Amino acid sequence: MPATSKDHKILSMHAELCKTLANPIRLELLGLLRDGGRSVNELTVLTGVAQATVSQHLAVLRQRGVVSTRKEGVNVHYEITNPKMIKACDLIREVLFEQLAEMEKLAKSEVTA
């Protein structure tokens, strides 16, 4: 069955989202935001990454609709827009841990063979 224009649109959006998440710093930021909003200052301290770099990555995530902002006094807090994003990242992480365990298992069996 040929793909429809709607299918192509979703595939394109999926690819763009994957590109957005294809960065370890952005993934770390999402992990830190999983339990609620945090300010750029908090995220800078927790990651040990320069504030300018954290801000740049948060801007990319915000432009792609992965995080949103809210003002709290003089601070801007970032929050994940959809909790399903964390579920999706967790699922991918589970698959990666399974793959890693399988690779380690294969490596051990080659050593003992």
Q: 57 lies in which domain range?
A: 1-81
Q: Are 48 and 36 in a shared domain?
A: yes
Q: What are the phi and psi torsion angles at 57 (to 5°)?
A: -70, -40
Q: Are 25 and 68 in a shared domain?
A: yes
The pLDDT confidence band at residue 113, using thresholds 50, 70 and 90, is low
Q: How many domains does the chain have?
A: 2
Token pair in block for residue 8: 């192509």
Q: What is the pLDDT of residues 42-92, one digit of tens each?
A: 999 999 999 999 999 999 999 999 999 999 888 899 999 999 999 999 999
What H or E segment, with its residue span, contains residue 77? strand 75-80
Q: Are 10 and 58 in a shared domain?
A: yes
| The pLDDT value given to residue 107 | 87
CATH number of the domain bearing residue 65: 1.10.10.10
Amino acid at 9: K
Q: Are 74 and 95 in a shared domain?
A: no
Which pTM was predicted?
0.85
Cα pseudo-dihedral 31, 87, 64, 2, rounded to 10:
150
Q: Does 97 score more than 70 pLDDT?
A: yes
Q: Are 110 and 71 in a shared domain?
A: no
Q: Are 53 and 25 in a shared domain?
A: yes
| The pLDDT value given to residue 44 | 97
Q: Are 89 and 112 in a shared domain?
A: yes
